Amino acid sequence: MAIFKVSGQKLLPIRTQKVDLESDIQKLTESNLELVFGLKFVVSEFQLHGLRVDTLAFNEESQSFVIIEYKRDKSFSVIDQGYAYLALMLNNKADFILEYNECTGKSLKRDDIDWSQSRVIFIAGSFTTYQQNAINFRGLPFELWEVTKFDNETILYNQIKAPESAETIKTISKNESVSQVNKEVKSYKEDDLITKNSGGEKLFNQIKEKVALIDENIETYATRHYIAFRLPNNWRIIFVVKPRKEKLVLEFTRSHPKDFKDPDKRLRYIPYSMKQFNQHISIMDVGSEKDVEYAVFLLKQQYDRFMKEYNN
């Protein structure tokens, strides 16, 4: 893909530069983890039982650890190394918690962490076709990100996404370490939470379609308990959807009902939200198409407010 800079009526080519993952990209990524991945930095070069974690990070939204590895060659196996790192974590939870507490000055306990949401991020200048195909299994807790550096002091982080697959790694692997990790770690999809052919599925699809009209770049991702909608290139969650049997519960993050024009008074405040989640949260039930229209009216206000804060 050719990239150009516009200069009057001329297009000037922007050329790529060699990526130095060790001394350049790793330091930049660690210094900007929240901006790039929405994660909190814990420690660099964490060593345990003969394995070294390049970057240990923490996802405060899902309350889970994330391991980031910077790959300088193309001879590694995504599956083998990914499961090796996750097995290291799950077999040594106390060591990871201790490292987190010592580095951050906080006091996490084992039960505070959702180990099922653990994942590994691989960062490289490029991945082989074999490595890209290796993640083409449902529920793999691994992400591949290619980094490209340009001569105009620009860096691109691009996630390699495999096509959706119904097949899981369990169908081809009998490895004990893989089986152990898969019992505890799960990568969730939207349909893991949305019951097929239910009223909730129809309402969710309607909300998703209308949110795309507000901004087609708004991203969704699923966790064990909810589906989050977040701002593009920002990782800030606008709202989350918690599916119920015949309705949806929408949670407006970092929001109080007084922040909205809400003539029908549909928003309710969660009184314990600041104490439990360190933010104000307002909720609304969506049980009909009419509710969807009103919810989108509120969501547009939420989006505009978040974008104004982000741009300032």
Percent of the chain with pLDDT over 70: 92
Q: What is the pLDDT of residues 33-89, one digit of tens each?
A: 998 998 999 999 999 998 999 999 999 888 899 999 998 877 888 888 999 999 999
Task: Tell me the C-alpha distance between 195 and 198, whole Å.
Answer: 6
DSSP conformation class of 136: -
pTM: 0.83
Q: What is the pLDDT of residues 1-13, one digit of tens each?
A: 678 889 888 998 8
Q: How far is CA 36 from CA 31, 32, 95, 104, in A?
A: 10, 6, 26, 20
Q: Span 10-27, mean pLDDT?
A: 82
Q: Span 283-312, mean pLDDT?
A: 91
Residue 257 has pLDDT above 90, yes or no: yes
Domain locations in the chain as residue ranges: 8-184, 190-311
Q: What pLDDT shows up at residue 298? A: 97
Task: Tell me the C-alpha distance between 145 and 127, whole Å.
Answer: 9
If you count DSSP H runs as helices and E runs as strands, how many of each does the chain have, helices first?
Answer: 10, 15
Please provide the CATH number assigned to the domain covering 190-311: 3.90.1150.20
Q: pLDDT band for position 162 (50/70/90)?
A: confident
Q: pLDDT band for position 232 (50/70/90)?
A: low
Q: What is the topology classification, in CATH, of domain 8-184? A: Trna Endonuclease; Chain: A, domain 1 (3.40.1350)
